[in-house]
Amino acid sequence: MFSMMASNPERVSRRLRISGVPSPRQQEFFDARARFIAYGGARGGGKSWALRRKLIALCLRYPGIHCLLIRRSMAELKSNHVLPFLREYGALVSYSDSEKALLLSNGSRIDLGYCDSDRDVLRYQGQEFDIIAIDEATQLTEFRFSVFKACLRGIRDVPRRMYLTCNPGGIGHAWVKRLFIDRKFRSGEDPSDYVFIPASVYDNKILMESDPQYVHSLRSLPQRMRDAWLHGRWDVFEGQFFSEFDESIHVRSTASFPERLKYFVAFDYGFDMLAALLMGIDTEGNLYVLREYCCPDLTLTAAAERVADLCRGVATEFAVASPDLWNRRQDTGRSGFEIMQGVPGMPPMLPADDRRIPGWRVLREYLAPGASPRLLIGEGCRELIRCLPALLCDPERPEDASGEPHGITHAPEALRYAVMSRCPPPSPETSMGFRFPRPSSSPFFD
């Protein structure tokens, strides 16, 4: 419990007493000073209460500060925050339905927003906020997060921070995990800007005392949900498409791979991303991902050059790719296949069997746990290792992977092409050399 000065000058001598004592984790959240602060992990850690308390404290500390509070829908925002705000801090704030904002008498304000699509987030382009709070950040794509990051600016001498609450799972799982859990930063991202404060129901003593059955409910959940919601594990979560993937099982040093392999390439190409995988198959039919190359903004010719570089030094028999590369382009009259195949060093190209659900089923078989996994991934293939466990189930077709977030789909798509190419394994009795089969009328994927 602590007291604050009222923001109204006419009541300047009056102190308002606000009840509630933060847990040690919540206090750590209050004390953090990084530009981007994420709080949560497991459920029941007191994230929403802490977020409201931090926003009201900033509004009182810095008169005239402009905050934005975001959730996926306005209905969720009203039930989870607006009503609790008025119940907890009604003497300090008033709600304006016309402005969709919580207003304080010292000029500070908390705008209330929702973001359920890319169209929603574009409404915020060009706006400026001193503080942005995103509740349930894993429900937002990285693109939407990036737009909000660009809104965190201004000329007043006040803090500029973004506060995020989050649980494992959801469409934004991959980028939240990358930035705050794995701390795998890209060019231009400053590691000191990002802080993650983990919290679980066990840190929330008030909830533990007032509703002990809540912990029992979490303990009774199916294992994947229990691991994510009770223990805050980011490597397993409900809605994960490939729960079979286990980095400790499927990722190895390439030095441990067999020397006797037959090599081919599988790649998924779009101007937004080239994802190419150098594959190997042993005499038992087991698959190995030796190297990867993933890069955006490449023309067809540049992409083919990168694939050729990926194959350099290895007797690569063929490259399997999406069949749409064989469609002729209206602007040139040439297909992507013709352009790419004409690049020196590009292996002979074949159209992939791109059936989605059968392909995912085959890949699931390769990932299935057993005495020895049938698919191993080289530890240097970081993009595939990052994206494969982050794939989500399609909400309309559970047997298919979701196309969102799109940024994590490319490397797994290339791997799906690889397992569906059905490259015959090398014979243990004969030499590794073999001739690529001539095109014929019979399909390669029979």
Residue 437 has pLDDT above 50, yes or no: no
Residue 269 has pLDDT above 70, yes or no: yes
Of residues 187 and 6, which shows the higher confidence score?
187
For 198-213, what is each residue's pLDDT tens digit? Answer: 998 888 777 787 777 8
Contact 60, 106 (CB under 8 A): yes
Of residues 280 and 18, which shows the higher confidence score?
280
pLDDT band at 335 (very low <50, low <70, confident <90, very high): very high
Determine the pLDDT at residue 214. 81
Superfamily of domain 2-229: P-loop containing nucleotide triphosphate hydrolases (3.40.50.300)
For 358-403, what is each residue's pLDDT tens digit? Answer: 999 999 999 987 767 899 999 999 999 999 999 999 988 989 999 9
For 224-248, what is each residue's pLDDT tens digit? Answer: 778 777 888 888 787 889 988 989 8
pLDDT band at 350 (very low <50, low <70, confident <90, very high): very high
Closest CA to 105 of 63, 157, 156: 63
**pTM exceeds 0.85:** no
Per DSSP bridges, beta strands 15-18 and 101-104 are unpaired
What is the percent of the chain where pLDDT is above 90?
Answer: 66
Determine the pLDDT at residue 6. 42
For 39-51, what is each residue's pLDDT tens digit? Answer: 998 888 889 999 9
**Domain spans in the chain, listed from the N-terminal domain onward:** 2-229, 247-420
Residue 76 has pLDDT above 80, yes or no: yes
Determine the pLDDT at residue 423. 66
Residue 444 has pLDDT above 70, yes or no: no
Mean pLDDT value across residues 3-20: 50
Determine the pLDDT at residue 330. 67
Mean pLDDT value across residues 304-323: 95
For the chain, what is the mean pLDDT? Answer: 87
What is the percent of the chain where pLDDT is above 70?
Answer: 90
Residue 17 has pLDDT above 80, yes or no: no
Residue 430 has pLDDT above 90, yes or no: no
Determine the pLDDT at residue 233. 85
Mean pLDDT value across residues 344-350: 96
Scan for tokens 């929403």, then name that residue.
Answer: 48
In this structure, which CATH number among 1.20.1250.20, 3.30.420.280, 3.90.226.10, 3.90.420.10 belongs to the domain 247-420? 3.30.420.280
Residue 442 has pLDDT above 70, yes or no: no
